[in-house]
Amino acid sequence: MQPSTLREVQEPIKQRYRDDPDAALVTLAADGTLGMGQSCSVQTGQALVRAGLHPATGGDGLLVCSGDMLLQALVACAGVTLGAVASALGLVVSGTVRAEGDLDFRGTLAVEKTAPVGFREIRLTFALESEADDDKLATLMRLTERYCVVFQTLAVRPALSVTHARSNA
């Protein structure tokens, strides 16, 4: 997308948010249905995804792991954000994005109480092809990191809560 096209699309939205900050507050949601055994079906915008245990915790590898889905969400968000920022800066960029995360499954299986539950470290790597100079690519990376929703959510922990209700279904 050309920088002018992106600005043309986004400027009315930005102006609306300037005029009415509450209009920028949006609640996103995801829903799942508990399945047989240790599975949960999650409806994405395009498909139904069945999640289950990772093989390192007893899964058979036939269902997707939610940890993988988290890394995939990070890659998707970072890739889209980089593309939008590159368009805004007038840069032509191609390449790949990879996220890797280190887990110690002793924590999630309650084998070792001091082992963390969750990722200990996540690395996001871009392999970029561009004729842009190093300073412009550094700016691209800095702004991608700053505006990537998933990256910032992981970097600056949001308030979390868990509730439950009985289903009458």
- Overall domain count for the chain: 2
Distance CA 65, CA 52 (A): 6
Helices within 63-148 (DSSP H only): 66-89, 105-108, 134-147
Please report, rounded to a whole number, the percentage of residues in the chain having pLDDT higher than 90.
57
Residue 35 corresponds to which tokens in the numbers above? 């399945």
- Alpha-carbon distances of 123 from 49, 59, 152, rounded to whole Å: 25, 25, 13
Assess if residue 4 is contained within a domain: no
Same-domain check for residues 88 and 54: no
Give average pLDDT by consecutive 10-residue segment, the chain, 169 residues: 82 90 82 74 83 90 90 93 92 92 91 90 92 96 96 95 87
Residue 101 corresponds to which tokens in the numbers above? 């995360």
Assess if residue 18 is contained within a domain: no
Reported pTM: 0.85
Q: What is the CATH number of the domain that holds 139?
A: 3.30.300.20
Quick check: 53 and 111 in contact, CB under 8 A? no
